[in-house]
């Protein structure tokens, strides 16, 4: 068979508990422990930080998705009893500065939305529990299947959500609702997730990949610098007054118009 004109397969790199598939201007992070419902470990978190650091400079969109019937069932319970560096409980025996420094490193694995020039989309199906919930919360856009169930389970295990999820959840749904979700450990289904702002879109499970692809393609159709300026405006809006936000809009627009006029070069 002549394969001269066959498209090249995406470059793929394997990490602990996931892989990253690269294509022009985009990367897809695929959680690939479906037999364990994509449960997470500190080794995986360290590798998520590394994978983020290794993204090619042309990547504009990152999709986070998972193999199997669950997005992620959260923390692998084995890390509470392991004898290696992954033992979460052992952090309590360390000096405070050492323990909190380790947690700070893990928190970086869940921050996929802070870069203005990168748009991240979580494609979430089935269970997204604890760390799975927080990983989805760390993305800019959450497109979810109609079988999704979000749950912040950490307090039910005697620990706290410490991977950036408390602030992100409060920003999305408010203090009262976030408190109820976290302190009851209940599961939030797709209809409620859409209603309260946890989900951008809900689609039938069989249509999740297609919906994510449409969104990624739409984002890539926007000028990169216009997208980055707009995302920065949106991210900083909650901390600004209306007058401050309008001033920021004026400044951003002026930068864009100078570029369009050929007076300023963009990187």
Q: Is residue 242 part of a domain?
A: yes
Q: What would the two tokens of residue 25 be? A: 């201007």
**Are residues 152 and 249 both part of a single domain?**
no
Residue-range definition of the domain harbouring residue 215: 11-220
Domain contains 123: yes
Do residues 65 and 121 make contact, with C-beta atoms less than 8 angstroms apart? Answer: no
44 and 145 together in one domain = yes
State whether 126 and 246 are in the same domain: no
pLDDT value at position 264?
Answer: 79
What whole-number percentage of the chain has pLDDT above 70?
A: 93
- pLDDT one-digit tens code per residue, 138-182: 999 999 999 999 999 999 999 999 999 999 999 999 999 999 999
Please state the separation of Cα 12 from the chain's center in Å: 19
Residues 76 and 155 in one domain: yes
- Residue 2 included in any domain: no
Strands (DSSP E) found in 24-60: 26-31
Per-residue pLDDT at 136: 98
State the CATH number of the domain containing residue 159: 3.90.226.10
pLDDT tens-digit map of 97-121: 999 999 999 999 999 999 999 999 9
Is 154 in the same domain as 249? Answer: no
Inside any domain, residue 15: yes
One domain, residues 115 and 136: yes
Q: Is residue 3 part of a domain?
A: no
Model pTM score:
0.92
Side-chain half-sphere of 153: how many Cα atoms within 13 Å?
A: 18
Burial (0-12, 13-18, 19+ Cβ within 10 Å), 8 = exposed
For the chain, what is the domain count? 2
If asked whether residues 157 and 232 sit together in one domain, one would say no
192 and 108 assigned to the same domain: yes
Copy the structure tokens of residue 169: 């959840």
CB distance 216 to 26 below 8 Å: yes
Q: Are residues 248 and 134 both part of a single domain?
A: no
Q: Let me know if residue 267 belongs to a domain.
A: no
Identify whether 6 is part of a domain.
Answer: no
* Domain identity same for 106 and 118: yes
User: Taking the chain, what is the end-to-end CA distance rounded to the nearest angstrom?
Assistant: 43
Mark whether 76 and 39 lie in a shared domain: yes
Q: What percent of the chain has pLDDT over 90?
A: 87
């Amino acid at each position: 068979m002549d394969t001269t004109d066959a498209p090249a397969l995406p470059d793929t790199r394997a990490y602990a508990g996931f892989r990253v598939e690269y294509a022009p201007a985009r990367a897809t992070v695929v959680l690939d422990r479906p037999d364990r419902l994509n449960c997470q470990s500190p080794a995986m978190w360290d590798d998520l930080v590394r994978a983020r650091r290794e993204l090619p400079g042309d990547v504009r969109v990152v999709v986070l998705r998972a193999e199997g019937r669950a997005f992620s069932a959260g923390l692998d319970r084995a890390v509470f009893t392991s004898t290696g560096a992954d033992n979460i409980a052992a952090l309590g025996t360390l000096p405070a500065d050492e323990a909190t420094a380790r947690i700070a490193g893990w928190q970086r694995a869940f921050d996929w939305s802070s870069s203005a020039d990168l748009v991240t989309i979580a494609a979430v199906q089935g269970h997204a529990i604890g760390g799975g919930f927080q990983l989805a919360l760390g993305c800019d856009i959450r497109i979810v299947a109609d079988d999704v169930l979000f749950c912040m389970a950490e307090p039910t295990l005697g620990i706290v959500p410490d991977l950036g999820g408390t602030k992100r959840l409060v920003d999305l749904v408010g203090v009262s609702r976030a408190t109820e979700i976290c302190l009851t450990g209940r599961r939030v289904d797709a209809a409620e997730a859409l209603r309260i702002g946890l989900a951008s879109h809900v689609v039938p499970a069989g249509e999740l990949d297609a919906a994510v692809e449409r969104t990624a393609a739409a984002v890539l159709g926007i000028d990169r610098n216009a997208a980055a300026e707009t995302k920065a405006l949106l991210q900083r809006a909650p901390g600004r007054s209306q007058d401050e936000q309008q001033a920021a809009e004026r400044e951003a627009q002026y930068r864009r118009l100078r570029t369009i006029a050929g007076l300023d070069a963009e990187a």
